[in-house]
């Protein structure tokens, strides 16, 4: 497929700008340093969320994220079902109440990934999660990552994903543009996943060839046998991942006292991003989340996502 200059579809556009403010400059510098320290990118797996396309009269022509960070398409459908029921309950006009309630019905135990309430569309969306990795494992939070929540209050950190507009043509910095170019063609290597998973990923390259990066998420990972695996879905900030890790180690056998309890306390006192306890190694890691985009908007769940 070819396009003449100036006629590139919006979902294939990557518009790079160089911001001049000091914060953007430091953030860009952090990103370039990460390329050297953590040169490889690994697929973490899919995460799911919900998005809406308001009626055009609302002045928005792009899909907007309602919520993200769901571990499965099924849990995202349940969350969308609950969201629509709340909208129906809060609606002032009887016609709007009826429209939202009707839109919620196919999601009650079903496998619908898109519904409409009048001209207002709602969709379950998927994002591929990735982590940068280097000789010492996956990348931890960067100094410039927002991290203002106190220990134990990570859930109160602003959710930068809620309300995020999925606009492929929105301006991004040089490192963000390069990251999108790096992630868009990535699929699992042959033999790493079931064939249906790989086939769906290959198909998505054609059906949803563009992409948008959601705000960076943060997960907990554990090193096991020289390999790292994530233990949580991406959260809004590093502190939410630290809090999750503190709860996790306290729940382990023997976690009510001794070394596990000391590790949990250290996570709160020092805001550290890695702990080693009883021969186990845990780390808070950065997770990039790419929503693939096609002519009709963000990618929904794939058949191989298995609900």
Question: What 3 state SS string does the chain have?
Answer: CCCCCCCCCHHHCCEECCCCCHHHHHHHHHHHHHHHHCCEEEEEEEEEEEEEECCHHHCCCCEEEEEEEECCHHHHHHHHHHHHHHHHHHCCCHHHHHHHHHHHHHHCCCCCCEEEECCEEEEEEEEEEEEEEECCEECCCCCCCCCCCCCCCHHHCCCCCCCCEECCCCEECHHHHHHHHHHCCCCCCCCCCCHHHHHHHHHHHHHCCEEEECCCEEEEEEEECCEEEECCCCECCHHHHHHHHHHHHHHCCCCCCHHHHHHHHHHHHHCCCEEEECCEEEEEEEEEEEEEEECCEECCCCHHHCC
pLDDT of 57 reads 54
In a domain, residue 278? The reply is yes
Whether residue 208 is predicted with pLDDT greater than 90 in this model: the reply is yes
Number of folded domains that form the chain = 1
Q: What is the mean pLDDT of the chain?
A: 90
In a domain, residue 307? The reply is no
pLDDT of 22 reads 86
Paired tokens of 180: 């999108």
Q: What's the pLDDT band for 267 if we cut at 50, 70, 90?
A: confident
pLDDT of 307 reads 47
In a domain, residue 45? The reply is yes
Whether residue 59 is predicted with pLDDT greater than 60 in this model: the reply is no
Q: What's the pLDDT band for 82 if we cut at 50, 70, 90?
A: very high
To the nearest 10°, report the CA torsion of 57, 60, 61, 62: -150
| Residue of 192, 73, 54 lying closest to 126 (CA atoms) | 73
Report, as an integer, the average pLDDT of 95-119.
Answer: 93
10-29 residue pLDDT tens: 999 999 988 788 888 899 99
In a domain, residue 74? The reply is yes
Paired tokens of 66: 């309602």
Whether residue 117 is predicted with pLDDT greater than 90 in this model: the reply is yes
Whether residue 165 is predicted with pLDDT greater than 90 in this model: the reply is yes
In a domain, residue 2? The reply is no
| Residue of 79, 61, 83, 62 lying closest to 70 (CA atoms) | 79
Whether residue 149 is predicted with pLDDT greater than 50 in this model: the reply is yes
First to last CA, the chain: 33
In a domain, residue 188? The reply is yes
Q: What's the pLDDT band for 3 if we cut at 50, 70, 90?
A: very low
In a domain, residue 3? The reply is no
Q: What's the pLDDT band for 56 if we cut at 50, 70, 90?
A: low
Paired tokens of 115: 């519904």
pLDDT of 2 reads 46
Report, as an integer, the average pLDDT of 219-246.
Answer: 93
| Residue of 154, 284, 264 lying closest to 219 (CA atoms) | 284
What distance in Å separates the CA atoms of residue 100 and residue 93, rounded to the nearest whole number?
A: 11
pLDDT of 187 reads 85
Residues 6+ apart with CB under 8 A from 307: 72, 73, 74, 111, 301
In a domain, residue 53? The reply is yes
pLDDT of 140 reads 97
pLDDT of 109 reads 82
Report, as an integer, the average pLDDT of 63-86.
Answer: 96
174-198 residue pLDDT tens: 999 999 999 999 988 787 889 999 9
pLDDT of 77 reads 96
Residue-number span of the structural domain to which 233 is assigned: 8-301
pLDDT of 86 reads 97
Report, as an integer, the average pLDDT of 236-247.
Answer: 93
């Amino acid at each position: 497929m070819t396009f003449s200059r100036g006629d590139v579809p919006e979902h294939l556009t990557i518009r790079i700008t160089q911001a001049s403010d000091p914060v953007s400059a430091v953030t860009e510098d952090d990103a370039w340093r990460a390329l050297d320290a953590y040169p490889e990118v690994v697929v973490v797996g899919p995460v799911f969320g919900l998005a809406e396309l308001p009626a055009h009269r609302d002045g928005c022509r792009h899909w907007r994220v309602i919520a993200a960070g769901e571990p499965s398409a099924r849990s995202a459908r349940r969350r969308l079902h609950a969201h629509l029921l709340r909208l129906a309950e809060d609606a002032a006009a009887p016609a709007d109440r009826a429209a939202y309630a009707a839109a919620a019905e196919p999601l009650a135990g079903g496998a619908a990934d898109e519904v409409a309430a009048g001209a207002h569309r709602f969709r379950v969306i998927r994002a591929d999660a990735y982590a940068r990795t280097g000789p010492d494992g996956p990348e931890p939070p960067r100094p410039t990552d927002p991290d203002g929540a106190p220990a134990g209050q990570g859930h109160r950190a602003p959710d930068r994903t809620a309300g995020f507009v999925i606009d492929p043509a929105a301006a991004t910095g040089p490192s963000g543009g390069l990251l999108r170019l790096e992630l868009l063609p990535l699929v699992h290597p042959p033999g790493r996943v079931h064939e249906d998973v790989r086939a769906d990923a290959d198909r998505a390259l054609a059906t949803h060839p563009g992409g948008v990066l959601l705000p960076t998420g943060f997960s907990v990972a554990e090193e096991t046998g020289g390999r790292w695996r994530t233990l949580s879905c991406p959260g809004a900030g590093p502190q939410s991942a630290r809090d999750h890790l503190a709860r996790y180690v306290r729940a382990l056998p023997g976690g009510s006292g001794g070394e596990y309890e000391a590790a949990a306390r250290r996570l709160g006192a020092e805001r550290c991003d890695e702990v080693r306890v009883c021969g186990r190694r845990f780390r808070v890691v950065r997770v990039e989340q790419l929503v693939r985009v096609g002519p009709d908007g963000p990618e929904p769940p794939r058949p191989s996502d298995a609900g």
